[in-house]
């Protein structure tokens, strides 16, 4: 692929060797950039601790819940229900930015602190090699 920064060759060091019709290929890729700096990786979620529950209750009280008779299928009824619910959330529940973690969601702060302490302790060890 001329000019694209990608070269393709037949691999010489294959596990099973090449055959006439099935050659293993090796790809040489130059200047690969997998991350676009313009991408925004912020995740937002509803912050129900700061929600306006009085306003949300008033909003839900004002909804004509008999709309389900206008919908023909159960899928359209459920879709309409979720539209109403999430419209209320958008109006009365603020969103907060969620910090991305390098740990699984089930790791609590104590466990993460222990892991970080272990990594820190291991990185500070001095290894003496006697020749």
Regarding whether 108 and 63 lie in a shared domain, the answer is yes
Number of H helices, E strands in the chain: 3, 4
Average pLDDT, the chain: 80
36 or 94, which is more confident: 94
Supply the pLDDT for residue 36. 57
Q: How does residue 96 score in pLDDT terms, banded at 50, 70 and 90? A: very high
35: buried, middle or exposed (CB in 10 Å: 19+, 13-18, 0-12)? exposed
Supply the pLDDT for residue 125. 64
The model's pLDDT over 33-81, given as tens digits with 9 standing for 90+, comes to 655 555 556 788 999 999 999 999 999 999 988 876 677 888 888 888 9
Instruction: Supply the pTM of this predicted model.
Output: 0.49
Number of domains in the chain: 2
Regarding whether 44 and 28 lie in a shared domain, the answer is no
Structural domain boundaries enclosing 22 = 1-32
Regarding whether 102 and 67 lie in a shared domain, the answer is yes
Supply the pLDDT for residue 60. 94
Contact 112, 103 (CB under 8 A): yes
Regarding whether 63 and 12 lie in a shared domain, the answer is no
């Amino acid at each position: 692929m001329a000019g694209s920064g990608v070269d393709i060759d037949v691999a010489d060091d294959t596990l099973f060797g090449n055959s006439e019709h099935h050659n293993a290929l090796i790809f040489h890729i130059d200047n690969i950039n997998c991350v676009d700096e313009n991408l925004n990786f912020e995740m937002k979620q509803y912050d129900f601790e700061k929600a306006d529950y009085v306003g949300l209750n008033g909003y839900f009280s004002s909804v004509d819940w008999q709309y389900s008779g206008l919908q023909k299928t159960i899928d359209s009824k459920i879709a309409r229900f979720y539209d109403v619910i999430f419209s209320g959330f958008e109006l009365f529940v603020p969103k907060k930015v969620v910090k991305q973690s390098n740990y699984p969601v089930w790791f609590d702060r104590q466990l993460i602190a222990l892991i970080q302490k272990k990594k820190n302790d291991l990185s500070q060890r001095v290894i003496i090699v006697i020749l």
